[in-house]
A and B are shown apart, each in its own frame.
Chain A
Amino acid sequence: MVKTKHLENQSVIANIDWLSIFLYTALVFFGWMNIYSASLPLEETSIFDLSQIYGKQILFIGITLPVIVIILSLDAKTYEKYSLIFYIIGILLLMGLFIFGKTIKGQTNWYQFGGISMQPSEFAKIGTALFLSKYITESQTTFQTLKEQVIAMGIIFLPVAFIMLQPDAGSAMIFMVFFLVLYREGFPAWYLWTGFFAILLFILALVIKPVILLVLILLGCIIHFIYNKSIHRNPFIYAILAVVMSGFVFSVDYVFENVLEPHQKDRINVLIGEDVDMKKEGYNLNQSMIAIGSGGWTGKGYLEGTQTKGGFVPEQHTDYIFTTVGEEWGFVGSLSVVVCFLSLILRVTYLAEKQKNNFNRIYGYCVAAILFMHFFVNISMLIGIFPTIGVPLPFFSYGGSSLIAFTLLLFIFLKLDANKVNEW
């Protein structure tokens, strides 16, 4: 028994996590079905028609197969060993955009050479995840010193800075999820709390009158101070906190009016229920909610969605692909997709926690966190609980860059996981 086990240990096939592969395949396949529905032309053509979006997606799916084979056949140590190289390649690709990139609607997110285009920010995530894991593993840090904290944040913010310059707020935002990984590895909690409170205050400041919010903040500080039984409680800290928060609240209005782009303001206005024109800035969200909301329990049937057929939802095959699920497959279909993503994310998290090697664990965490962020931001924006931000739904949305990048991201981890029995 022991002998045979040792033999099996050598094989990727025997050790790879088939549940993850099953979920991955299900999502890719169901994603393609919905892309087919969303991009179906009036005249029937072959599903392999490369002039059609669904035909191209089949090509992309085809490309992932050799990619997977290569990832799985490389030595598991390669990824840790060359993580800096991957990171640097990612950064270079991002920098190269400013020279070779194609500018569409004021954003320079893509390379386009001939018929092939590529979005480097998708790949930069992988490099960042690998290099961040590597740094934490190498330095064996638990982020007790400011220096370590700054280095970790530097690794994250370097690509973010280039992405913000494109500008692409959505992709940049995805990188913030690395803080959840850092927290798991010992990063001080107050970073998260500060971020959380900043977001909360930002939203409240937009919804409630600043003066009322100010009173609430002061009351909160006073009550907290009274009930704080700690002997270290320092009234000055409370006073400073109150002043900072008040200052923040008053700056929100300024930021909102002067820093945010008009379309970003619109997207927030749409969400907090300000009066918006459903034909203009509110159009996307409105049509998206109509598509999903009209699905009912079991949907209108595959290829029968009126919103989908009529092309009412913009970019339906990419960022808005989930609206097709909602419309044609209803609540049952939507729930299934959510459960698939949830299972995959939690499965990867679970596998990560089981790793004996720190690099593997941290990288696994990064994979789960990136998948989660995409999943949450994408679906939330379609159903009106998050501002509209253009991020794709992993494995589901149309697009070669995102499909191949997410496949790389996931399968590198699956390779590491399959190799864990060899880690000593």
Chain B
Amino acid sequence: MRKLLFPIIVLTAAIIIVARLFYLQIVDDSFLKKADINALKIVYEYPERGYIYDRTGQLLVANQPSYDIMVIPREMKNTDTLELCNILEITKDDFIKKIEKAKVYSPRLPSVFLAQLTKTEFAAFQEKIRHFKGFYIQKRNLRDYQVDYAANVFGYIRQINEMELERKPYYKSGELIGIRGVEQAYEEDLRGIRGVHYIQKDKFNKEIGPFKEGIYDTIAVKGNDLTITIDGALQKYGEELMIRKRGGIVAIEPKTGEILALITAPSYDPKLLVGRDRSKNYVAIDSIPGKPFLDKVLQGQFAPGSPFKILTGLIGLQEEVIDTETRFPCSHGFHYARGAFMACHDAGSWNLHAAIAKSCNTYFAQTFMRIINKYPTPAQGVDAWYSHLKSFGLDDYMGYDLPSGQKGNIPSSEFYKKWYPNGGWKSTTIISNAIGQGEIVMTPIQLANVMCAVANEGHYFTPHIIKKIENKQIDKSFVQRKQTTIDKQYFRPVIEGLAEVYRTGTASRLQIPDIAICGKTGTVENFAMVDGEKTKLQDHSVFLAFAPKENPKIVVAVFIENGSWGASWAGPIASLMIEKYLKGEITRTDLEKRMLEGDLSANYVLRDISDKQKEEKDRLKRLEKERQLQLKAKQNGKN
């Protein structure tokens, strides 16, 4: 026994040591990370963000250098707070708040202390930076906008927030990310890839050279330049036309699906969202009545009204419930059921051609009833009708390459089964759909897309904003032809009808010399709650057109909020857009002047009051909800 004790102790000790080593080196993997944090300093190098050009090659968005002051809280030492605050013109409270925030993010990792310094501020700080341990300057690139329009198309870049950081592992705190528009849609192409340099530090935090001679270092890869489908001149012109009005314009080249112009009003100068005043300006823009950050072309939803009659006509022809010579008598409307009357502004007995030109409600209501009644049950009828509409990209986000949008709504039989759980609905119940009212909701870009399919006589290309990406192919789906369910032969009569709209119909005063335009006016009723009462506001003005009639080059959809009937504002603006694009200049200067100077502010007074009241109501609701929650929490706490 006495001989054995020592060897046993030695072996036991060795086993304990080996087990502990195994635990530290193999089982617990936290030490490697700690060692890296200890000894490695990571320096990022940010490449230039890709430039953005318009379809004509005009430079729209470039870059300017910007300097962020970064801080690593753990490395701060004897900071002369007063001097720092003086140089940077911030208060001591600001200083404390910013440091606290940085500490919350991480005491060891860099946070932005002060973002986007101007060159002079940067120069003043750089001279003294060695006095401020733990602070350093990080160069980044900010946008330098060459134009003052198309803010909604571009989107903007800003510092990534905490929520996004969690979802997107590529990004580090303080980095910039594209929000909305092309900046968001093509973020990965535009941003490029940041370069990383690993630097070995010693325990005094002194840099002692590149880590492993830089074998892990990467160089920054410049972002890819983009060419977008926008025509800068047309976009600018459209925005000018929309001053003092609200709504949206979208112009698409039907042959390709390329978006030529995407205008929303009110808008703002993209330069406002650059630099240190970005968030201040953001709040200011956001509080402008009319929701400048809402893209009304992509996100504005409404019952389209008369332009929808084009689709009803096409489906009628395809389903062979009418032909071009089918006539329906109209006497300022018609009785579609006992005691139910649909009014119409004109009287006579019209065929398709005339019905489109005159936008006859009776004609399309009758057609719609025939479509639905062709099938044994209304459900089957509605679904047949629905699948035709779906082929035009309705009730769908469509897959265009901009990050915001709405799918609108086209009711299917499912929809009505939910609405009328006991059944009993039939074609007459849902007849408002015939003329683009009822349950139908569309966005302006969907309207424009329908017109593209008409202009192409049966097919369209998914609308898109990207024309070319440097070193890369654009998404293949944008060059694939999407076929609608309507046969080519049925489009001609409808196109003739749409041309008649300009020749003799609702838009006859909006002709452009030498250009044959096909179009359709629309007027959309709308309401708002004012002082708790549902109040009818001035109608929205809608216009949908393409030109020239043969070999169409442009489709325009114009939507003017509270712009009364289609031909009053939307029509003229659409025709000016077409003329600008096709001719490059405007001959009808009187019309142009009237449109440019037109002011619809008065029409928005009620809407703004309603919006404010709604906001206030929502706010109170929210507060009440919070209060209830707190109360509940308190009670739970007591229990």
Determine if A372 and B13 form an interchain contact, defined as CB atoms under 8 angstroms apart: yes
Q: Given A311-B203, A369-B6, answer yes or no on A338-B38 (Cβ-Cβ < 8 Å).
A: no
Q: Tell me the count of chain A residues lying within 8 A, CB to CB, of chain B.
A: 46
Mask: chain A, 271-314; 1 = CB below 8 Å from B; 0 = not: 00000000000000001011111111100000010110111100
Complex alpha-carbon distance, A383 and B21, angstroms: 7
Complex alpha-carbon distance, A180 and B2, angstroms: 9
Determine if B30 and A293 form an interchain contact, defined as CB atoms under 8 angstroms apart: yes
Q: Is B283 an interface residue (CB 8 A)?
A: no
A331 cross-chain contacts in B, Cβ below 8 A: 21-22, 25-26
Determine if A297 and B5 form an interchain contact, defined as CB atoms under 8 angstroms apart: no
Q: Given A372-B13, A376-B17, answer yes or no on A291-B35 (Cβ-Cβ < 8 Å).
A: yes
For the A-B complex with A42-B208, A310-B38, A372-B10 known, give 9 more contacts whose Cβ atoms are closer than 8 Å.
A186-B2, A290-B38, A293-B28, A297-B26, A307-B35, A310-B202, A331-B26, A338-B14, A380-B17
Complex alpha-carbon distance, A372 and B6, angstroms: 10
Complex alpha-carbon distance, A224 and B212, angstroms: 62
Q: Given A309-B202, A331-B26, A369-B6, answer yes or no on A338-B21 (Cβ-Cβ < 8 Å).
A: yes
Stretch at the interface among A227-235, A259-267, A341-349: A341-349
Q: Given A42-B208, A186-B2, A310-B208, answer yes or no on A293-B202 (Cβ-Cβ < 8 Å).
A: no
Determine if B25 and A295 form an interchain contact, defined as CB atoms under 8 angstroms apart: yes
Q: How far, in Å, is B593 (CB) from chain A's closest CB?
A: 72
Complex alpha-carbon distance, A202 and B16, angstroms: 20
Q: Which of A310, A365, A380 has the most CB of B within 10 A?
A: A310
Closest to B12 in A: A376
Q: Is B31 an interface residue (CB 8 A)?
A: yes
B14 cross-chain contacts in A, Cβ below 8 A: 338, 341-342
Q: Tell me the count of chain B residues lying within 8 A, CB to CB, of chain A.
A: 38
Residues in chain B within 8 A of chain A (CB atoms): 2-3, 5-7, 9-11, 13-14, 16-18, 20-22, 24-26, 28-32, 34-36, 38-40, 200-203, 208-209, 211-212
Q: How far, in Å, is B215 (CB) from chain A's closest CB?
A: 11
Determine if B17 and A294 form an interchain contact, defined as CB atoms under 8 angstroms apart: no
Q: How far, in Å, is B349 (CB) from chain A's closest CB?
A: 89
**Contact partner of A379 among B5, B17, B34, B208, CB < 8 A?**
B17
Determine if A184 and B35 form an interchain contact, defined as CB atoms under 8 angstroms apart: no
Complex alpha-carbon distance, A301 and B6, angstroms: 36
A368 cross-chain contacts in B, Cβ below 8 A: 6, 10
Interface residues of A in 351-388 (CB under 8 A from B): 353, 365, 368-369, 372, 376, 379-380, 383-385
B10 cross-chain contacts in A, Cβ below 8 A: 342, 345-346, 349, 368, 372
A42 cross-chain contacts in B, Cβ below 8 A: 208-209
A292 cross-chain contacts in B, Cβ below 8 A: 21, 24-25, 31
Complex alpha-carbon distance, A368 and B10, angstroms: 10
Determine if A309 and B26 form an interchain contact, defined as CB atoms under 8 angstroms apart: no
Residues in chain A within 8 A of chain B (CB atoms): 42, 180, 183-186, 287, 289-297, 304, 306-307, 309-312, 326-327, 330-331, 334-335, 338, 341-342, 345-346, 349, 353, 365, 368-369, 372, 376, 379-380, 383-385
Closest to A307 in B: B35
Determine if A296 and B32 form an interchain contact, defined as CB atoms under 8 angstroms apart: yes
Closest to B9 in A: A180
Q: Given A338-B18, A342-B14, answer yes or no on A383-B6 (Cβ-Cβ < 8 Å).
A: no
**Contact partner of B34 among A290, A311, A334, CB < 8 A?**
A290
Complex alpha-carbon distance, A310 and B6, angstroms: 40
Q: How far, in Å, is A282 (CB) from chain B's closest CB?
A: 13
Determine if B17 and A338 form an interchain contact, defined as CB atoms under 8 angstroms apart: yes
Complex alpha-carbon distance, A279 and B456, angstroms: 73
Closest to A298 in B: B25
Determine if A306 and B24 form an interchain contact, defined as CB atoms under 8 angstroms apart: no
A380 cross-chain contacts in B, Cβ below 8 A: 13, 16-17
Closest to B198 in A: A306
7 shortest interchain CB distances as A-B pairs: A293-B31, A306-B39, A294-B35, A293-B24, A310-B39, A310-B202, A331-B25
Determine if B200 and A184 form an interchain contact, defined as CB atoms under 8 angstroms apart: no
Closest to A334 in B: B21
Determine if A334 and B25 form an interchain contact, defined as CB atoms under 8 angstroms apart: yes
Closest to A279 in B: B74
Closest to A372 in B: B10
Determine if A312 and B38 form an interchain contact, defined as CB atoms under 8 angstroms apart: yes
B28 cross-chain contacts in A, Cβ below 8 A: 293
